[in-house]
Homo-oligomer: A and B are copies of this chain.
Amino acid sequence: MSSTTDLAPDVSLHVQEKWLRRRAEILRAALRAFREKGYAETTLGDIAEYVGVRKTALYHYFPDKETILYECHRESLAEVSGLLSAARRRHTGAADRLHSVITDHVRVMTETLDGSPISFEVPSLSGARQAEIIGARDQYEKGIREIVQQGISEGEFEAVDPKLAVFAILGAINWISRWYRPGGPVGTADMGNQFADHLVGGLLKRKW
């Protein structure tokens, strides 16, 4: 019947929605497995077990293992991609914009992606897919760098190397996937704010 990204045109709406629900379930299970074991050590059997099927059922929804990873990446990026423009709309100053991006990114990491490890698994993608994901990631980084540069130019931030500053910020945020567990003992509703205060505060011009 299906190509594994969408359904045949004559399939009923009910069947389509059921298919999409199962597909989404597989992606959720994959994300969890990748977080726990990494992509390479996760077997299709692991993912299937979390879903409650056998590994070969996954081929009804995805053509191969890598595509599952790729789709996880795309979903993660979709969550993150609007954060910059939202921060720019809401705020004019660099500090407020940066604070907003960080807070939102932490929220996405913890509430939507459940501590997604996806930032780590880029090298497992092949050729064009890897280039695409890296491209989108680099766009996001660039956008944050521009905010930092804005802060420096307007005298709000110390004259740091924006690239290093952004790597530090994104490192802190991406590392959340290493320790954050939904319902775990660490991490509260306010952690986005603490992260942002810390990471933005450290850039502000010192008043001596």
> In the complex, are the beta carbons of B174 and A191 less than 8 A apart?
no
A3, CB-defined interface residue at 8 Å = no
List which A141-191 residues lie within 8 A (CB) of chain B: 158, 160-161, 163-165, 167-176, 178-179, 186-188, 191
> In the complex, are the beta carbons of B191 and A202 less than 8 A apart?
no
Complexed CA–CA distance, A160 and B201 (Å): 13
A203, CB-defined interface residue at 8 Å = yes
Give min CB distance, A158 to chain B, whole Å. 7
> In the complex, are the beta carbons of A124 and B168 less than 8 A apart?
no
> In the complex, are the beta carbons of A165 and B201 less than 8 A apart?
no
Chain A: how many interface residues by the 8 Å CB criterion?
Answer: 43
- Which of B170, B172, B179 lies in contact with A169, CB distance below 8 A? B172
Complexed CA–CA distance, A171 and B167 (Å): 10
Complexed CA–CA distance, A204 and B200 (Å): 12
Give min CB distance, A159 to chain B, whole Å. 10
Complexed CA–CA distance, A195 and B186 (Å): 24
Q: Which of A4-12, A14-22, A37-45 contacts B (4 or more CB under 8 A)?
A: A37-45
A120, CB-defined interface residue at 8 Å = yes
A83, CB-defined interface residue at 8 Å = no
| Contact digits for A25-45, partner B, Cβ 8 Å, 1 yes 0 no | 000000000001110110000
Using known A-B contacts A40-B38, A200-B202, A202-B199, determine if residue A170 contacts B175 with beta carbons closer than 8 Å.
Answer: yes
A: residues with CB less than 8 A from B are 36-38, 40-41, 119-120, 123-124, 158, 160-161, 163-165, 167-176, 178-179, 186-188, 191, 194-195, 197-204, 206-207
6 contacts between A and B (CB under 8 A): A41-B124, A120-B178, A160-B197, A161-B194, A164-B191, A202-B203
